[in-house]
Amino acid sequence: MIKYNYAPQTAIGGRKENQDTEGSFLTKFGLLAVVCDGMGGAAGGKTASSMAVNTIIEEVINSSGSMPAQALATAIKKANQEIFNRSRQQPQLRGMGTTVTAILINEEKAIIAHAGDSRVYQLRDGKKVFRTNDHSKVFELVKRGILSEEQARLSEESNIIQRALGIAPDIDVEINDNIPFLKGDLFMLCTDGVCGALPEEDLLLLLQKEKNVKRLSEQLIQQIDFLGNQQGGGHDNLTVALLQPLINSKLDVIIDMKTKITIYALASMVAILSAALIYLLLFSDSRAKITQGENSDLKKEKAKIDSLQGVVIRQANILSGKNSDLKKEKTDSSENKGISVKKQADAHSGKNSDPGNVNKSAKVKKEKDSTPKTGQPKSIEENPVTPKEKADSSEKKSPGSSNIW
């Protein structure tokens, strides 16, 4: 069961009739609080706001569904139909309508619905953590960046709203169905007579002056009413409902756990990617150094090979020249040998004309073939070496949801 403090307060302001209506009830879905700002002149405005509050509460109480957000949206649409039909049945009520803002809060979360320019604020330690956006002409200009919120508040067209119950057979209801909260948070439901009376910064300051929600709601209405009278009176009706949960929502715990898990996962991922990046940078740097070293060694080896190849070629040329000389010398020797042998034969046959040399033997000098075996000079196949190039590697590296029912 939800534990909370709740304090509504209303005042007629500078008008002849208070057309605002507030109501609350503890339903099976949790505490339901509704604030409506009626419009339509004569009795129409008050009738519309009262019908809206009563119908919404009754429909949520009697809902057979199990989904609180759906039950709330259905109840608001039902209220819209009831007001629209009544205005068509009774001419004096024709054109009546009303804004609506409602909260359904339980142990799990808060569900907020609204149509028009009545608002819901959620404050934590005096600071705004959530606020509904008005369905109005000037707020559309704010969203488009044409007007500031203060300019919109002071605009003569600030009372022109784009959504209201009872104006058409159907209505779009804006639902925020996953609002987490903490113990001590302050939800404020209010009509535009409150939030439009002074700048938002000043309104938030007033909400920080008192911790007791009942006294705070009283003081807030009194001060704004006093301000309106000082400015000449005629100011709008004033209605506020302050709701303070006394427990943390379960949704907040779930979100907190998911957030922690997400942060841990992201931190781990960043650490892994950082380590991988550092490794790649160091590896690339070392490979670059190794490649540079390899290139230097290869250049040295190539120079040595070129030098050896030159030596071999030169030696081959020299040896080739020597072989030619030796062949010539061998040829000459063979001719001389032939002559000597002939002379020797002639001497034996008595054909030698020199008698003194008949018994004389011709001495033949045998020369040894000292030609070295050179063969073909060795050819060194110079395989082209392509330096390994450095590769640069780099690695590149979801509080509530809003639905329209």
pLDDT, tens digit (0-9, with 9 covering 90-100), for 203-230: 999 999 999 999 999 999 999 999 999 9
pLDDT band at 278 (very low <50, low <70, confident <90, very high): confident
Q: What percent of the chain has pLDDT over 70?
A: 64
Determine which of 24-28, 100-104, 372-376 has the lowest per-residue pLDDT on average.
Answer: 372-376
Given this model, what pLDDT does residue 321 score? 61
Q: Would you tell me how many other CB atoms lie within 10 Å of the CB of residue 53?
A: 25
Paired with 34 in beta bridges are 23, 102
Q: Span 87-106, mean pLDDT?
A: 96
CB 192 within 8 A of CB 120: no
- Residue 123 Cα to chain centre, angstroms: 28
Strand order in the sheet with 4-11: 4-11, 238-245, 186-190, 119-124, 127-131
Given this model, what pLDDT does residue 255 score? 54
Determine which of 50-59, 83-92, 306-315, 376-385 has the lowest per-residue pLDDT on average.
Answer: 376-385
Residues 6+ apart with CB under 8 A from 95: 40, 41, 44, 87
Q: What percent of the chain has pLDDT over 90?
A: 60
The structure tokens listed for 226 are 């006093």
The CATH architecture that domain 4-248 belongs to is 4-Layer Sandwich (3.60)
Given this model, what pLDDT does residue 289 score? 54
Given this model, what pLDDT does residue 163 score? 97
Domain ranges of the chain: 4-248, 249-326+373-397
Q: What sign does the CA torsion over 353, 354, 357, 358 have?
A: positive
pLDDT tens-digit map of 332-364? 544 444 444 344 444 444 444 443 443 333 333
Q: How far apart are the first and last CA of the chain?
A: 27
Determine which of 31-40, 50-59, 185-194, 387-396 has the lowest per-residue pLDDT on average.
Answer: 387-396
pLDDT band at 326 (very low <50, low <70, confident <90, very high): very low
What average pLDDT does the structure give for the chain?
A: 79
Q: Span 11-40, mean pLDDT?
A: 97
Q: Span 312-338, mean pLDDT?
A: 54
Given this model, what pLDDT does residue 356 score? 42
CB 37 within 8 A of CB 134: no
CB 39 within 8 A of CB 33: no
